[in-house]
A and B are shown apart, each in its own frame.
Chain A
């Protein structure tokens, strides 16, 4: 754990602090004035637990902190608290996240705006702590919004965005922020901590309206229904997910206006793409080694390469992704996940990107890469290999194109 170091006052809207991704999230919990949070230890989520507990112990934060008897209870606790009007926070990692799966599914079904983090961690077996995205991605079809953070700063910023988007009545869906274990959750960086006044301008009070479970508002939630009802309920959730794109755009614009951060697009972070012919796309912290490789390969070999980082996986920003990627000759998709037996034996993101671009007349060659599983580092030679293969595919090398490559795996 980091010793709390307040580095300096920047201006009236923020201060600086050296914090891990987990500590940045704990600051967001404090700033969002969360009412109830649920905890059950599993690495790397436990980093948030500890950071939040410390804030409470130091008298800096007032939140009902409930230590559950397991992950399933953890998610049930916040689901119920949310239904009675509490702003909530929860999280887990890896197989702990899976242990909560039933509660995770019903939370989205009930349209309760629970905000969670999934501290991404490889699924057992074998037991391992390193990052992989399959835990978060397992809920991709259920109605959870899934953003991924790149830095501790973005973790904090996305968390504040998460409550705002989740609790918006047009959306009212849960959000699970993906945080790469170790790289993001447990490394300390300078993080700008907004002032309470600035956050209050951005994040309105939570109001469930006429969906609030309260004796003065007698409603029944979660009834058993007959087969004649499900399709309409699913269609409602579909509409909410569609609405989310617009609500994220609004929230992003407000966030930029108030805090001056957040990049150009709410959905994509493009790096050196202006003149690029070939790009790679991925989520989370893998952007760091890729950015270094881009700078190096541009300097050493004059390669016109760039990076597109996807910030929201759900709702999938199809329009933005298509508009961005169709400019390039070839796109390499880096999955820090797997989808065994899927088309072309690719990762989850690979097949989503291919699907998004299918209807385009002019579309890039798409190459898949499985890399960095279980927290393995994507080192520079691997990054180079990824770009080389993507460029070869762009030049019509069939062995490289329309297929997926495992990068850095021992033969």
Chain B
């Protein structure tokens, strides 16, 4: 590769839940690169603030050979092209929808040709790729082993995702981040905890790479792009159309905030209306026979419906990456009960027939929003894997 004078890295993360994580990754990149005499900057996309729970947001690290080069790469403050994009939750590969009118963007959108997309995931590269928009230029998909690290607003789940990612970066960008520098930086960041060094090495060794060719990936995701109007086209007086009753916002759909989605067992539903009442985003529509079906286009996956539903396993939260579309499922139930029920069982892992007995409704690795909702003042000390967030 021709000698490069700067490198740009973005971290795509779930707003609030992973803010501190993203910040730590970007800072560690600059601090590690600094050990070789490079300089750099780390910053968040200003338009993402104030962040919304789970809504995709971005932070950046730009590293350069010297100050002049850094200035040159900062001439466009928010990089529109990056060398590496890092998604710290694998459900983000379904697309990035910021709260501020960006539409839905493919996860690889800013990645330059032959750049990298690093995803922290427990899944195989092909499973992740299957949910990533069809590539328009080749890139390398790297899977950094590990589940998504979620925490609340004031806490930070210190599971070394940041160090594993730094190890992976040392592997793909050795000219900027040497493995030894990454280890030294991690040791400083972890205040001398040697396990950080092991995590860097693990990220370096265990990250699996897969070349992605043009055209690989799915074409199943919705295209959601808007042209921003000019001043002569906008309504004066800072006015936007309000949604009519029953109408949903076509410009901001929010399903990109979802890491899990609710699936409903209509057969066991007692039509108590609790889900319909408590859903913060008014996602439930009443079916002709009085059930409540989820409009997946609008659901943010907060998990509240599953928590308030009084019937065991009637609403089950399921990993978002298992679904390829946002289509409504009640139609299937209406036309073919048994087909629907086997779909329900397949997705949720619980029996559709309560008499057969089933496992717990909300999986152990529950949705972060649900956790945040029930456990707002989480005491960091109560959880050994959770420490106070923020920069040290």
Residues of A within 8 A of B (CB): 109-112, 172, 210-211, 218-223, 225-229, 231-233, 235-236, 239-240
Contacts of A111 in B (CB 8 A): 236-238
- Minimum C-beta distance from A327 to chain B (A): 37
Q: When A226-B101, A228-B101, A228-B228 are in contact, do A236 and B240 touch as well, CB less than 8 Å?
A: no
Selected interface stretch from B17-25, B32-40, B79-87, B241-249:
B241-249
Whether B228 and A220, one on each chain, are in contact in the complex, defined by CB atoms closer than 8 angstroms, is no
Given the complex of chains A and B, what is the CA–CA distance between A232 and B238 in angstroms?
Answer: 10
Contacts of B241 in A (CB 8 A): 218-220
Contacts of A109 in B (CB 8 A): 238
B357 within 8 A of A: no
B46 within 8 A of A: yes
Contacts of A232 in B (CB 8 A): 229-231, 234
- Minimum C-beta distance from B208 to chain A (A): 37
Contacts of A227 in B (CB 8 A): 46-47
Of all chain B residues, the one with the shortest Cβ separation from A112 is: B237
- Minimum C-beta distance from B333 to chain A (A): 34
Given the complex of chains A and B, what is the CA–CA distance between A226 and B234 in angstroms?
Answer: 15
Of all chain A residues, the one with the shortest Cβ separation from B241 is: A219
Closest 5 CB pairs of A and B: A226-B100, A218-B242, A111-B237, A232-B231, A235-B231
Whether A236 and B47, one on each chain, are in contact in the complex, defined by CB atoms closer than 8 angstroms, is no
> Could you give 8 example pairs across A and B, Cβ below 8 Å?
A109-B238, A219-B240, A220-B240, A221-B239, A229-B101, A232-B230, A233-B231, A236-B234
Residues of B within 8 A of A (CB): 46-47, 100-101, 228-231, 234-244
Contacts of A222 in B (CB 8 A): 238
Whether B242 and A220, one on each chain, are in contact in the complex, defined by CB atoms closer than 8 angstroms, is yes
Number of A-B contacts (CB under 8 A): 59
- Minimum C-beta distance from A245 to chain B (A): 18
Whether B238 and A221, one on each chain, are in contact in the complex, defined by CB atoms closer than 8 angstroms, is yes
Whether B236 and A236, one on each chain, are in contact in the complex, defined by CB atoms closer than 8 angstroms, is yes
Contacts of B244 in A (CB 8 A): 218
Given the complex of chains A and B, what is the CA–CA distance between A223 and B235 in angstroms?
Answer: 13
Q: When A218-B242, A219-B242, A220-B241 are in contact, do A228 and B47 touch as well, CB less than 8 Å?
A: yes
Whether B240 and A229, one on each chain, are in contact in the complex, defined by CB atoms closer than 8 angstroms, is no
Given contacts A226-B47, A226-B101, 15 further A-B contacts (CB under 8 A): A110-B238, A111-B236, A172-B236, A211-B236, A218-B244, A220-B241, A221-B237, A221-B238, A223-B238, A228-B47, A229-B101, A232-B230, A232-B234, A233-B231, A236-B236
Contacts of B229 in A (CB 8 A): 232
Whether B239 and A236, one on each chain, are in contact in the complex, defined by CB atoms closer than 8 angstroms, is no
- Say which residue of B228, B230, B240 sits within 8 Å of A223 (CB atoms): B240
- Minimum C-beta distance from A172 to chain B (A): 6
- Minimum C-beta distance from B336 to chain A (A): 39
Of all chain B residues, the one with the shortest Cβ separation from A234 is: B231
Whether B101 and A211, one on each chain, are in contact in the complex, defined by CB atoms closer than 8 angstroms, is no
Name the residue among B100, B237, B240, B243 with the largest chain A CB count within 10 angstroms. Answer: B237
Given the complex of chains A and B, what is the CA–CA distance between A220 and B243 in angstroms?
Answer: 9
Given the complex of chains A and B, what is the CA–CA distance between A219 and B236 in angstroms?
Answer: 12
Contacts of B237 in A (CB 8 A): 110-112, 172, 211, 221
- Minimum C-beta distance from B361 to chain A (A): 36
- Minimum C-beta distance from A252 to chain B (A): 24
Contacts of B228 in A (CB 8 A): 228-229
Whether A233 and B101, one on each chain, are in contact in the complex, defined by CB atoms closer than 8 angstroms, is no
Whether B47 and A239, one on each chain, are in contact in the complex, defined by CB atoms closer than 8 angstroms, is no
- Minimum C-beta distance from B55 to chain A (A): 13
Given the complex of chains A and B, what is the CA–CA distance between A226 and B235 in angstroms?
Answer: 16
Contacts of A229 in B (CB 8 A): 101, 228
Contacts of B235 in A (CB 8 A): 210-211
Q: When A229-B228, A232-B229 are in contact, do A240 and B243 touch as well, CB less than 8 Å?
A: no
Contacts of B240 in A (CB 8 A): 219-220, 223
Whether B231 and A236, one on each chain, are in contact in the complex, defined by CB atoms closer than 8 angstroms, is yes
Given the complex of chains A and B, what is the CA–CA distance between A229 and B231 in angstroms?
Answer: 9
- Minimum C-beta distance from B152 to chain A (A): 23
- Minimum C-beta distance from A110 to chain B (A): 5
Whether B238 and A240, one on each chain, are in contact in the complex, defined by CB atoms closer than 8 angstroms, is no
Of all chain B residues, the one with the shortest Cβ separation from A235 is: B231
